């Protein structure tokens, strides 16, 4: 994979990178759990109870938001479901791309908002929903809308809601554990520990550093996975429309529109076609690290590479 | 001790054969399912034809040849069994419909009728659907053929007699169409 050119190459490369990141994220989580466990003063196995508890809490919280992802997001945003007669053009665009992607037809929603954006959600393709703002329907032509729809349907086909939920469980577990550790340091600093040796002190210090840094690192990893999935959805979307220019023009149009989407918040930002929160379009390295979406320029560049090769 | 190592290795090989075989069966079934989806869309397309012909006849009675061509193409499509025949009949129908719509241009009353407009929209949408189902079929064929041509699943495919499937290809006429569009 020396040069990444075609949409096929971009799909495989982004899929591979996602799993590579996931692999290191799992190692990272295990490492942090181990260090914190030692820092808490438990032996190799004693900390498992706490880890289990953190996993269960994070698991349940995220499972609910995963299982009801469509209802929650659509409920918060206040979107309205449409039938074929309400907007045949949009309905057919979704319907035909679903046939090409081999996906069941998702429910289609329109959100009355002049911002230009779109998102897809749902725990699996059978419970998927795709939502457009009325603004995006007004501003995009047919081919651009097809590009955006193909991107969103690719999120559905790639099971991104599931993947991001798993990632959230790991991030949540780390957040809970480090939080508990710092609290116990704060309130129970004088508690007697069963491990008074030198290695115990080293693990205490290590655990303290880990407890402070780990949640931030975990969040950064989560965001990098989110950005990876966006590039993947762009590439798989192009395989559906076979017309990179459609999505490219749509992204250009959307990025020129600076109006933030009122219904979006940090929790749902990764679902949209472009970051709905706006105001952070500066492509600086540090800013880039904290974004759910890759900068528009990066996405356009990747799309341009696919031109004429699909 | 050594016998165990051999047994474990053999077990893994058997497991892999099992998984590879099941994987190929899944891929082959997906291709078949995708093929039946093309049929669904082709049927949908041909079921719109009688209605269209009736509507146009109401305004343009003496364009007999055009109607005949469309009807002929439609029955050819409905009678087609192999992939190649279907592709050919579908192209024939596309051509016949094109001349039908060209004829319609000469009848302003027909062009203005809501029924005709709606049918025209439905037919052009169904054409997109046929193309989309064809695309999905080709994606699945690509998946199957890739597995049948790459090592090591190739061995399983050869052993159990899996066949590569043909792509549903666009004819030269359609390709020319696309060039005109852009």
pLDDT tens digits, residue range B136-176?
A: 999 999 999 999 999 889 999 998 989 998 888 766 555 55
Query: Which CATH number characterizes residue B129's domain?
Result: 1.20.1440.20
Question: Are the beta carbons of B125 and A100 separated by less than 8 Å?
Answer: no
User: pLDDT (tens digit, 9 = 90+) per residue, B40-71?
Assistant: 999 888 888 888 888 888 887 777 888 888 88
**Which of A53-62, A144-153, B6-15 has the lowest average pLDDT?**
A53-62
Report the interhelical angle of A88-101 vs A142-157 (nearest 10°). Answer: 50
% chain A with pLDDT above 90: 34
Chain B CB contacts of A97 below 8 Å: 132
User: ipTM surpassing 0.85, yes or no?
Assistant: no
pLDDT at B182: 36
Indicate if the alpha-carbon torsion angle A244, A248, A249, A254 is positive or negative.
positive
Among B100, B110, B43, residue whose Cα is nearest residue B68: B100
Mean pLDDT rounded to a whole number for chain A:
83
d(CA A296, CA A83): 32
In whole angstroms, how large is the CA radius of gyration of chain A?
A: 22
pLDDT at B178: 42
d(CA A236, CA A162): 17
Domain extent for B113: 2-181
Q: Report whether pLDDT(A2) > 50.
A: no
Q: Report whether pLDDT(A26) > 70.
A: yes
pLDDT at A101: 92
User: pLDDT (tens digit, 9 = 90+) per residue, A235-246?
Assistant: 999 999 989 999
Going by their DSSP bridges, the two strands A129-133 and A107-111 should be labelled as parallel
Distances (CA, A) of A207 to A56, A127, A177, A183, B149: 22, 42, 11, 13, 51
User: pLDDT (tens digit, 9 = 90+) per residue, A157-213?
Assistant: 999 988 988 898 889 888 888 888 888 877 755 444 555 566 667 878 888 888 899
% chain B with pLDDT above 90: 30
Question: Are the beta carbons of A100 and B41 separated by less than 8 Å?
Answer: no
Chain A CB contacts of B136 below 8 Å: 99-102
pLDDT at B19: 94
Counted domains in chain B = 1
A residues 220-279 lying closer than 8 A (beta carbon) to B? 239-240, 242
Chain B CB contacts of A240 below 8 Å: 135
Among A111, A109, A113, residue whose Cα is nearest residue A129: A109
Q: Report whether pLDDT(A305) > 90.
A: no
Predicted confidence band of residue A134 (pLDDT cuts 50, 70, 90): very high
pLDDT, greater one: B39 or B61:
B39
Predicted confidence band of residue A3 (pLDDT cuts 50, 70, 90): low
* Active-site annotation holder among A146, A152, A230, A305: A152
pLDDT at B18: 93
Token pair for residue A51?
A: 């880890």
pLDDT, greater one: A261 or A58:
A58
Identify whether A152 is a catalytic site residue. Answer: yes
Counted domains in chain A = 1
Q: Report whether pLDDT(A296) > 50.
A: yes
Interface mutation target, options A6, A88, A93, A100, chain B, most CBs of B under 10 Å: A100
Nearest to A99 among B121, B133, B140 (CB): B133
A80 bridge partner residues: A110
Burial B100-136 (b: 16+ CB within 10 A, else e): bbebbeebeebeebeebeebbebbebbbbbbbbbbbb
Distances (CA, A) of B126 to A35, A215, B1, B122: 60, 51, 65, 6
pLDDT at A213: 92
The secondary element (H helix, E strand) that includes residue B174 is helix B172-181
User: pLDDT (tens digit, 9 = 90+) per residue, A226-281?
Assistant: 999 999 999 999 999 989 999 999 999 988 877 777 666 666 677 777 877 655 44
Question: Which range, A45-59, A196-210, B24-38, has the best average confidence (pLDDT)?
Answer: B24-38
pLDDT at A260: 73
Task: Locate all alpha helices (DSSP H) within chain A, ordered by sequence.
Answer: 7-39, 48-67, 69-77, 88-101, 134-139, 142-157, 160-187, 198-241, 244-256, 285-289, 296-306
**Cβ atoms of A310 and A239 closer than 8 Å:** yes
Token pair for residue A134?
A: 């009325």
pLDDT at A36: 82
Q: Report whether pLDDT(A140) > 50.
A: yes
Nearest to A92 among B41, B125, B136 (CB): B125
**Cβ atoms of B176 and B91 closer than 8 Å:** no
Arithmetic mean of pLDDT, B21-48: 91
DSSP A272: B
Query: What residue in B sits closest to A98 (Cα-Cα)?
Result: B132
Arithmetic mean of pLDDT, B64-85: 86
Domain extent for A3: 1-310
Chain A CB contacts of B129 below 8 Å: 95-96, 99
């Amino acid at each position: 994979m020396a040069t990444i050119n075609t949409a096929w190459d971009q799909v495989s490369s982004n899929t591979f990178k996602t799993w590579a990141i996931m692999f290191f994220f799992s190692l990272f989580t295990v490492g942090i759990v181990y260090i914190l466990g030692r820092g808490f003063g438990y032996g190799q196995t004693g900390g498992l109870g706490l880890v289990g508890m953190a996993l269960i809490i994070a698991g349940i919280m995220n499972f609910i938001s995963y299982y009801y992802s469509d209802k929650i997001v659509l409920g918060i945003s206040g979107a309205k479901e449409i039938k074929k007669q309400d907007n045949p053009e949009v309905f057919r665009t979704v319907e035909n791309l679903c046939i090409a992607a081999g996906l069941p037809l998702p429910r289609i929603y329109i959100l009355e908002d002049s911002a230009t954006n779109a998102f897809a959600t749902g725990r699996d393709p059978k419970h998927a929903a795709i939502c457009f703002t009325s603004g995006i329907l007004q501003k995009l032509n047919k081919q651009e809308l097809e590009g955006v729809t193909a991107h969103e349907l690719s999120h559905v086909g790639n099971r991104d809601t599931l993947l991001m939920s798993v990632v959230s469980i790991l991030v949540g577990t780390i957040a809970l554990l480090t939080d508990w550790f710092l609290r116990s340091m704060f309130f129970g600093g004088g508690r007697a520990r069963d491990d008074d040796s030198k290695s115990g002190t080293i693990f205490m210090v290590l655990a303290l550093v880990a407890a402070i840094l780990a949640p931030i690192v975990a969040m950064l990893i989560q965001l990098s996975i989110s950005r990876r999935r966006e590039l993947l959805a762009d590439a798989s979307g192009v395989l559906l429309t076979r017309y990179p220019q459609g999505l490219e023009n749509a992204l250009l149009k959307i990025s020129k529109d600076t109006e933030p989407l009122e219904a979006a918040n940090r929790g749902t930002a990764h679902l949209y076609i472009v970051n709905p929160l706006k105001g952070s379009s500066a492509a600086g390295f540090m800013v880039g690290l904290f974004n759910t979406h890759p900068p528009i320029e990066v996405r356009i560049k990747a799309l341009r590479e696919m031109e004429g090769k699909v | 001790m050594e016998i165990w190592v051999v047994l474990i290795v053999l077990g893994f090989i058997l497991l892999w054969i099992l998984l590879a075989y099941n994987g190929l069966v899944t891929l082959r079934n997906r291709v078949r399912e995708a093929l039946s989806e093309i049929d669904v869309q082709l049927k949908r397309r041909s079921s719109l034809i009688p209605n269209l012909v009736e509507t146009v006849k109401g305004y343009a009675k003496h364009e007999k040849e055009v109607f005949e061509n469309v009807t002929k193409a439609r029955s050819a499509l409905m009678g087609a069994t192999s992939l190649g025949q279907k592709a050919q009949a579908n192209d024939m129908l596309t051509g016949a419909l094109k001349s039908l719509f060209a004829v319609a241009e000469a009848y302003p009353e027909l062009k203005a009728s809501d029924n005709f407009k709606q049918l025209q929209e439905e037919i052009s949408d169904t054409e997109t659907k046929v193309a989309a189902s064809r695309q999905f079929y080709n994606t699945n064929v690509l998946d199957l053929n890739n597995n049948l041509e790459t090592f090591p699943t190739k061995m399983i495919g050869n052993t159990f007699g899996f066949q590569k499937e043909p792509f549903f290809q666009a004819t030269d006429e359609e390709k020319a169409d696309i060039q005109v569009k852009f």
